[in-house]
Chains A and B, each alone.
Chain A
């Protein structure tokens, strides 16, 4: 209940869907109005709970797509065999209620600390969602921390937040690699992220960068071990895995 929640305790609260935005053919951003939301850090999650008429409940954890201080937003990819994501991406309408709790997590977060430089953000598919929160937070803070985002997607049409990423300002380099389909004349990277691509794209280890890697589990395993192989200390590689599905 509002005002009575004990700090640290998680309480389910009812939010209202204010907008649904198509990001790609299978990905939507859901903007929420959550009156009891206590705020969040860039990179944190929230839990969503759906309750069926017979009382059956399903919960999922999603990365928060908006920056601290902005209204809560989720970006959800529809998984064909999913239990929750088809409802969120196909059935949900503006004005609907959505039960959420959070924020959750304290590991995969960027607190806006200017002294930690630079940032190496690496996304596979919808793993870009918490990294977008970090980028927006950086922008809102007018931080000058240098950032590189390496974003692996199946094709250009599968790139989430493309307009926003293409407008990133000074200090942010966005590098795409397209794994399945490249447009005619594509001069960017192609194929999966591997050690050789990282040695070209990632900040050299002597820059003391901190890396945030988010994507499908095999993607994260490959990227994290490659970064460590290139000389990144393991504790400067923060990882978040969301399973073996999702396009990267």
Chain B
């Protein structure tokens, strides 16, 4: 499997955040690039889901699920705003 994009994490992110998130805007904490979540690079082949910045490949977010518990690491994201909202 090659990399996917943020569309592939739509269900998982909606499960965590409670709203549609593929149209949200994320800002990378490393390079400052802002992108729609749908346009980020996503890797699902490991034990968790990894989202990377489409410009600098910095890890934006990692989600690992065990049973019904999610561990969400968002240290790579400076801001995350659902569509229609500003940071």
Q: Are A244 and B10 in contact (CB under 8 A)?
A: no
Chain A residues touching B, range? 20 to 34
Q: How many angstroms from the CA of A166 to the CA of B49 in the assembled complex?
A: 39
Chain B's closest residue to A235 (CB) is B36
Among B3, B15, B18, B19, point to the contact of A243 (Cβ < 8 A). B3
Which A226-248 residues have C-beta < 8 A from chain B? 238-245
A-B contact pairs, 16 of them (CB 8 A): A8-B14, A8-B18, A61-B8, A101-B11, A102-B11, A105-B20, A106-B83, A108-B7, A108-B38, A216-B2, A217-B2, A217-B4, A239-B5, A241-B3, A241-B4, A243-B3
Q: How many angstroms from the CA of A61 to the CA of B11 in the assembled complex?
A: 8
**B interface footprint on A33-47 (CB within 8 Å = 1, 0 otherwise):** 000000000000111
A186 at the interface (CB under 8 A from B): no
Q: Are A9 and B38 in contact (CB under 8 A)?
A: no
Q: Are B2 and A245 in contact (CB under 8 A)?
A: yes
User: Which secondary structure dominates chain B's binding surface?
Assistant: mixed
Chain B residues touching A, range? 20 to 34
Q: Are A243 and B23 in contact (CB under 8 A)?
A: no
A10 at the interface (CB under 8 A from B): yes
Q: Please give, as numbers and ranges, the residues of chain A lying within 8 Å of B27 by CB-CB distance.
A: none
**A interface footprint on B6-34 (CB within 8 Å = 1, 0 otherwise):** 11101100110011101100000000000
Chain A's closest residue to B3 (CB) is A217
Q: Please give, as numbers and ranges, the residues of chain B lying within 8 Å of A6 by CB-CB distance.
A: 18
Chain A's closest residue to B43 (CB) is A243
A56 at the interface (CB under 8 A from B): no
Q: Are A9 and B18 in contact (CB under 8 A)?
A: yes
Shortest Cβ gap from B43 to chain A (Å): 10
Q: Please give, as numbers and ranges, the residues of chain A lying within 8 Å of B19 by CB-CB distance.
A: 8
Chain A's closest residue to B19 (CB) is A8
Q: How many angstroms from the CA of A107 to the CA of B37 in the assembled complex?
A: 9
Q: Please give, as numbers and ranges, the residues of chain A lying within 8 Å of B22 by CB-CB distance.
A: 104-108
A69 at the interface (CB under 8 A from B): no
Q: Are B2 and A45 in contact (CB under 8 A)?
A: no
